[in-house]
Amino acid sequence: MTVLTDDDVPGYWRSLGLPGLADIHVHFLPDRMLRKVWAFFDRLGEGTVGSGTAGDDSGPGGQPWPIHYRYDEQTRLAIARRLGLVAIPALAYPHKPGMAGWLNDWCAEFAARIPDAVHCGTLYAEGGVGDYVRTAVRSGARLFKVHVQVGGFDPSDPVLDPAWQVLQDNAIPVVIHCGSGPHPGAHTGPGPIRHLLERFPLLTLVIAHGGTPEYLAFADLAAAFENVHLDTTMLATEYLNTIAPLPAGYPERLAGLQQKVVLGSDFPNIPYAYAHQIEALRRLDLGDDWMRSVLWHNGARLLGLLVDLDRLGSLDTARLSLRPLTVDDATEMVSVLADPHCTNTSGARPRTRRLCAGATGHSPSALRRTGRRTGSTGSCGTRRPAPPWGTPRRPSTAGAQPVSSPG
């Protein structure tokens, strides 16, 4: 098998018939914060970090972590686009109280000035978290990031209930670093996440790094809860294999969770070329169909991407038109797959093929249970149309605290 380089990545996804990559785990940060992150990783090889305490997002002490894409923001954006990222998340997360609000403001500003950005948000276990999460969702945030180890809080802390309710009601995906690798925290591991999901079973969670190193336990959660996914960030790479190698039988588990595994990379803060992540997944030898699901279909569904193929052009020179999915779009849309023979609901072949699985991160069966009705208003205050596959009913969610209005 030929080793991929970054220059090879666009040709690879094109060979699979994909319009690009839907990478859900990408970091863009305020410049001062990013430089502190890079300085932290620079110190890893000195063995002076790696305590696993709050604020310490380290790899193992003593193992170098050279930042592969140490460039200015515009250069990093250009590289991401050249690789084929159709939409670019700006995942950020706080390590102390009072920080999440201004990070959310920065994420909104980033999304406003970068046309292909994914508007992101974050949260911390603190008073008022429900209010600022609701505000972020109202302003357009459609992807959140939470880091349990860095934040040093229990994700099932009741103070977070209003925020989780807003995110569940609006089917906002949450990329959550909750595994005990590279270092355990007081609240890492599958236990706190299971407790959270028992009270908010329809939360759309994307377990970062596949839950390293508790791979199998988090795979069990993905199998048990309809909207729990695993992201591939660093999975099967040579770097992570030296720290937390995949257990026997795990690739087979990933094969069985084909619709639950989502491309993640940690770009740009990775110690190897982006192509190595794609290559590591390809070497699992789970087949082209699995790769299509992971590299595009699952992430596009979670992010609600709508791609007008007539406007696709070359991802090296032009960006796609991304807009929220409407009921008319969803009704016309017949498949996640880029089927050239697909037809719309009138039986005619549409001029464009829309590559998306739904208006939100939920599957159709889950949407039937989220309580949305035509013209209804979710807990963030945003009017949302009912899905075209029928009238949903409201789930009975034990322990959930509804948030129906601001304040």
Mean pLDDT of 399-405: 30
In this predicted structure, the answer to whether residue 1 has a pLDDT above a threshold of 90 is no
Instruction: Report how far apart the first and last C-alpha atoms of the chain are (Å, whole number).
Output: 57
145-166 pLDDT, tens digit each: 999 999 999 999 999 999 999 9
By CB neighbour count within 10 A (0-12 exposed, 13-18 middle, 19+ buried), where does 329 fall? Answer: middle
Mean pLDDT of 75-102: 97
In this predicted structure, the answer to whether residue 378 has a pLDDT above a threshold of 90 is no
Query: pLDDT band for position 386 (50/70/90)?
Result: very low
The pLDDT of residue 216 = 98
Residue type, 12: Y
Residues 6+ apart with CB under 8 A from 350: 332, 342, 343, 344
218-261 pLDDT, tens digit each: 999 999 999 999 999 999 999 999 989 999 999 999 999 999 99
The pLDDT of residue 360 = 38
DSSP 8-state class, residue 165: H
Q: Supply the pTM of this predicted model.
A: 0.78
The pLDDT of residue 299 = 97
The pLDDT of residue 40 = 84
| Domain presence at residue 342 | no
The pLDDT of residue 183 = 78
In this predicted structure, the answer to whether residue 194 has a pLDDT above a threshold of 70 is yes
For the chain, what is the mean pLDDT?
79
The pLDDT of residue 303 = 95
The pLDDT of residue 250 = 98
DSSP 8-state class, residue 209: G
In this predicted structure, the answer to whether residue 292 has a pLDDT above a threshold of 50 is yes
The pLDDT of residue 308 = 47
| Domain presence at residue 365 | no
The pLDDT of residue 64 = 87
Indicate the range of 171-180, 260-269, 316-325 predicted with least confidence: 316-325
| Domain presence at residue 23 | yes
Mean pLDDT of 77-94: 97
Which one has a higher pLDDT value, 172 or 310?
A: 172
In this predicted structure, the answer to whether residue 359 has a pLDDT above a threshold of 90 is no
Measured between alpha carbons, how far is 212 from 234 in angstroms, rounded to an integer?
9
In this predicted structure, the answer to whether residue 109 has a pLDDT above a threshold of 70 is yes
In this predicted structure, the answer to whether residue 48 has a pLDDT above a threshold of 60 is no
Q: How many domains does the chain have?
A: 1
Q: How many other β-carbons are positioned within 10 Å of the β-carbon of residue 400?
A: 19
Measured between alpha carbons, how far is 255 from 222 in angstroms, rounded to an integer?
13
Which one has a higher pLDDT value, 388 or 315?
A: 315
Helix or strand or coil: residue 174?
strand
Query: pLDDT band for position 329 (50/70/90)?
Result: very low
CATH code (residue 208): 3.20.20.140
Task: Look up residue 356 and give its two tokens.
Answer: 């998306």
The pLDDT of residue 368 = 27
The pLDDT of residue 45 = 64
In this predicted structure, the answer to whether residue 342 has a pLDDT above a threshold of 60 is no
| Domain presence at residue 75 | yes
In this predicted structure, the answer to whether residue 297 has a pLDDT above a threshold of 60 is yes
Indicate the range of 8-22, 83-97, 358-372 predicted with least confidence: 358-372
In this predicted structure, the answer to whether residue 282 has a pLDDT above a threshold of 70 is yes
| Domain presence at residue 145 | yes
| Domain presence at residue 79 | yes
CB 211 within 8 A of CB 178: yes
Query: pLDDT band for position 62 (50/70/90)?
Result: low
H or E element in which residue 193 lies: helix 190-199
112-150 pLDDT, tens digit each: 999 999 999 999 999 999 999 999 999 999 999 999 999
| Domain presence at residue 203 | yes
Query: pLDDT band for position 56 (50/70/90)?
Result: very low
| Domain presence at residue 381 | no
The pLDDT of residue 402 = 28
Q: Which domain does 244 fall in, by range?
A: 6-295
Percent of the chain surpassing pLDDT 90: 65
DSSP 80-140: HHHHTBSSEE-----SSTT-HHHHHHHHHHHHHH-TTEEPEEE--SSTTHHHHHHHHHHTT
